[in-house]
Structure formats: structure tokens, C-alpha cells
Amino acid sequence: MNRRAVKLLFGLVAILLVRCVQPAPQSELWRVGSSNRSQEASSVAATPLPATFLPPTRSPGKMIQTPTPDAARLLPTPRLQEEQYILQPGDTLGKVANRFQVSLDQLIQANEIANPDLVSVGQVVMIPVPSPQPPGPSFKIIPDSELVYSPASITLDVFMFVKSAGGYLSTYREVIDEQTYTGAEIVLKVARDYSVNPRILLAVLEYQSKWVTELQPAEETLEYPLRYYDFDRSYLYRQLNWAANQLNRGYYLWKVNAFSHYSMSDGGMTPADPTINAGTAGVQWLMGLLYDRQGWDLAVGENGVFATFSQLFGYPFDLRLEPLVPDGITQPEMQLPFEVGKIWSFTGGPHAGWGDGSAWAAIDFAPPGGGYGCVLSDEWVTAVADGVIIRSELGVVIQDLDGDGLEQTGWTVLYLHIDSSERIPAGSVVKAGDRIGYPSCEGGVSNGTHVHLARRYNGEWISADGTLPFVLDGWVSQGTGVEYNGTLNRDGAVVEAWDRLVPQNQISR
């Protein structure tokens, strides 16, 4: 009996839809212990930095220059009239207030709701016109390259930095998916997964709890180090996952002019200044979810996260690398991620590359046969281009297309939900069409066997429905404005994304 047949005996629960969302591993806190992976990862982090990626620095004694203002963005226009909305399944008043960018208190008062926890599906609520508020500051906190897991991040050895800082983070241990991680390993894992710069994660953690520099931080921060009090987001790993996802959400929504106000922790709304950069918008978005307007103004001003970052790493704009994605860049030639002669299903149009806050960088393909749900497949996911496998773990395979072995530079491709059995090891050099592994549900919460495919350039998630087309064997991805919906188009032929096997989503090489 072969390997796949043996595994089939154990079975997997079949579920009807094919979707993938951010990973949600089980986590347990440890205060003592050690991990061999910290030494292994440290050796990777210490890879010599190519001179071409060193950030510009000021000469000693030269004055710090204020960042050049960005051109004002054309943000969504605030509503000028009231409107009605019918509550849908899953709605809360908080979600509705956020969607229509009004404060929760304003929504409750406009509808004379006695108990905001007692609303029902089908209930009609009046959406008031947003109350005028002073805009947020135009002060820039960090450059875009300090929010993204960019080439600039290579200059930081996370393990050495955390150890030398000597704070609680340097002694912290947590069990994730039955493996013990150090504090530094958790920071680096979250940075790599979400493609967020570890410096901004460390700066936010220090601003919120002093975990980086103080050996005995405040007792109330030990369970919720970012002071985000959600039972499902306790301890460092889940807190940082949430923060990285929100940093991404603000960053990528700002780049497509998709919001004009920030939500505050007390339900208030604050207009965004249109001249800030995307990196600053990401930090402002995150801090809005943690503070009311008064606390937010402090956190996003000169004495907030910016000051903490500067104390830890120096003036942030000395580290900037611009532009992260140069004008005129083109995608390398890529092919569909399965073998010639096979017919797969296009099951997911443009959607988030990781979590639900990043750019809609990913598209999904499911193998033929096997039925719905998390079933075993003998079909192979194949490399979309030539390159080097630089990470292979927990359902994740990362391929570096420029061959320098650095995840933060040039083009990289994420293959997610790759089965552990016969998954290609890190260090492998592959050609387009070489086998990567079997599709599965591994590597996150997925309810159907498939491969989730996404692109990054210099650490930035590249949208599958944006100005830099995602092209596979001549098929061009297009979105509809609704996540997971979309088409692949080639020479007049159209393949439509469906989350099940239907004639409209069949595609072959």
C-alpha cells in the first residue's frame, strides 16, 4: 500500500467550501526553556547584506531632514446625507458604524437604541451623517520600507537585538503548534508570515508594554502585551499576529485610497490627513484600534511610536528605501502551478496574501478529483518559475526568484497549504514545472484542499487585481472588487473563480 493510500485510511473531514484565512495555531505560554531554532534562525538572519541594499545614511552631524510631503490623496468623500441600512446576519452595530465611518455612539443615538447588544437581522437602522472632527496629524512616523518586510529589514539581527536589549522579551517562551518559540523567534515568524518589518513590531511592542527593554514590565501586560484585550488574542504570538494584520490593513488600504477615517477604540472616527505615506497610515490604523482620540494623538505624534522607534533603532527615515516597487517593473514569466495535461479548478479570485489585512495578492487552485473538503490529493503543485526554495515549513513554501536567498528582496512566491509529506525542502534549486508538493489544508485554517498562490516584490504584497498583472501561462488575473471573486483571461477565453468544481472554473496547461 503506498503512502497516500495509508494516509487515506485515517481520513479527513470533508467540508463544502474552499477558502483559506489567516493561520490560527494553538498557543501556550512558557516562561522558561530554550529552542534550538533560535540559533538556526540567527545564522540565517546574519546573512551578509548586499551593498546595493544598504539604506542611505546621513553624514555625522548632518541635520535630520523632514520627510518630503506626499501628494495629497483623493480619499473617499464623506456622506452628506442620511441613509438606511438593513442589518444582515453577522452584523453588529460596531461593524456597521465602522463600515459607514460614523461613531458607535452617534449610530446608537440616531436610532434611539436602548440596548446596543439587542439588535436583530432585518432591523432597519438610520445611518447618520458623520459628525465633523479635526483631522489626524500629517506627521510621518515611518517610511513604507519600515512597515514592509523590505530589504531594509536585513540590517536587523532580531536575535542579537532582543538579547542585547535585555528585556522581558529576551526571556519569553511560548508553545505554538506543540513547538517552543523564543520571543525573538515569534517576532521573526510574524514578520515573515505577514511580511511586516520586525522593527515596527518591536517598536509597537515597546511602546505598549516596555517588553523590549524592561525585564519586569507591568503585570497587566504579561497576558496582553499590546494591551489589546481580546480573549482569543492573548499572549505574544496572537497579539503580534493581530497587530501585523492591522498594520497591513492600514498600509494596503491607504495605497488604494480605500478609507478616509480611522476607527478609535471608543467608537469614534477620526479623518485621515491625505498627505501621509502608507507606512504612517498603517501605524495610525493600528493605534486607532488601541486608543481613544486623545491617546491616539499622542501615539501617532512625535512623542509616540515615532519616539520609541527612534530610541530603539535611530531616525526611521534614515532607513528608508524608495520606491519599494519601482515604476515600470514587470512580473517574471510564470506558469500555472500544476503539471501539463492536468485540469484543475480556479477556486479563488484575488484575496489577501496572508491573514485578511494584506493586499489581495493571492489566487487559489484546487486539484481534480477527491471531492470537496480537506481530502488527500496525489496531484502535484509545481513551481511557477525558476528559483530557490528559501523556506519550507508548516504548509508554507517560499520561492525566491532572483536566487540571492533573501526573502526580503526582489520577487518571491508563496505557495500555501502544501502537505508535509514529500514537501520540497528549503535550499532546493528548482526550474519552472518542478514539483513543490501536494495541495492540502495544512498551514492555516482552510476548509478545502487547494494551493494558495501569492506574489511579493521587495517584501510588498503585489495585488492580483492591480496595475501589475498576475500572469500565469498567459492567463491574466482580474478582480471584481469582491474578495475571492474574479476571472482568468487569455485571448478572449474566460475562466471564472468558483469555490467548487463547476465547468466555469476548469483550467488546464
368: its cell numbers: 481534480
Provide the pLDDT for residue 336: 98
At residue 267, the pLDDT reads: 81
pLDDT for 132 equals 67
**Residue 133 burial (C-beta neighbours within 10 Å; 0-12, 13-18, 19+):** middle
Greatest CA separation for the chain:
72
Listing DSSP states for 36-78 in one string gives THHHHHHHHHTPPPPGGGPPP-PPTTPPPPPPPPPPPP-PPPP
Amino acid 221: pLDDT = 98
CATH code for the part of the protein at 3-23+328-508: 2.70.70.10
- For the domain spanning 136-319, the CATH number is 1.10.530
**pLDDT at residue 39, as a whole number:** 35
Classify the C-alpha dihedral 110-114-120-123 as positive or negative: negative
Q: List the grid coordinates of 197.
A: 518589518
pLDDT at 96: 85
User: pTM for the whole thing?
Assistant: 0.85
* pLDDT, position 453: 98
Report residue 190 as a C-alpha cell.
510574524
How is the chain split into domains, by residue range? Answer: 3-23+328-508, 83-127, 136-319
With a cut of 70, which residues of the chain have pLDDT below it? 1-66, 132, 370-371
User: 83-127 belongs to which CATH class?
Assistant: alpha beta
